[in-house]
Amino acid sequence: MKNIKKIIPYLIIIVTVVLIRTFFVTPVAVQGKSMYPNLEPKQILILEKINKNFKRFDVVVLKIGNDKLVKRIIALPGEHIKYVDDKLYINQKIVKENFVKNTKTDDFDLTEFGYDKLPKNTYFVMGDNRGNSLDSRVFGPVEKKDFIGKTIFSIFPIRRIGTIKK
């Protein structure tokens, strides 16, 4: 009986950590260079799982097949997206992307995927390193149910500690 009383605090700690990681926040590592230079390979981010209120330019983690991908939300449900001459158009209006550096985005239009506007609960995601990113231009729009969460903070490497910039 004495041994069980000694173990209970440790069990409570373990259960608490598991619950927090399962339902609230968890670390996630960036794989590959699709978000470079804003995020680098092996950079560790904190992923918030509980807030499902996604906005344009949020950096999210999504599940595509067996892969977990880190991407940026570019277009929201009900919007039309296209790129012409390296400029982003949402519903025919130019939208500035301050996070894209030294990379070119090839022309394309959402109609290439058979949509005039993104369906309800569907988003268009892209990597910041447009020439080296497997994203919605390849696999199409992503449903909200495929999002694991959005990144809120970088914890490693130390020189990258801080909030994720939009």
pLDDT in tens, 18-52: 877 777 889 999 999 999 999 999 999 999 999 88
pLDDT of residue 153: 95
- Whether the predicted pLDDT of 9 surpasses 90: no
Report how many domains make up the chain. Answer: 1
- Range(s) of the domain holding residue 103: 2-163
The residue among 166 and 70 whose pLDDT is bigger is 70
Catalytic residues: 34, 71
Question: SS3 letters for the chain?
Answer: CHHHHHHHHHHHHHHHHHHHHHHCEEEEECCCCCCCCCCCCCCEEEEECCCCCCCCCCEEEEEECCEEEEEEEEECCCCCEEEECCEEEECCEEECCCCCCCCCCCCEEHHHHCCCCCCCCEEEEECCCHHHCCCHHHHCCEEHHHEEEEEEEEEECHHHCEECCC
Q: What is the pLDDT of residue 1?
A: 64
Does pTM surpass 0.85? Answer: yes
pLDDT of residue 141: 97
CATH number, domain of 10, equals 2.10.109.10
pLDDT score recorded for residue 114? 95
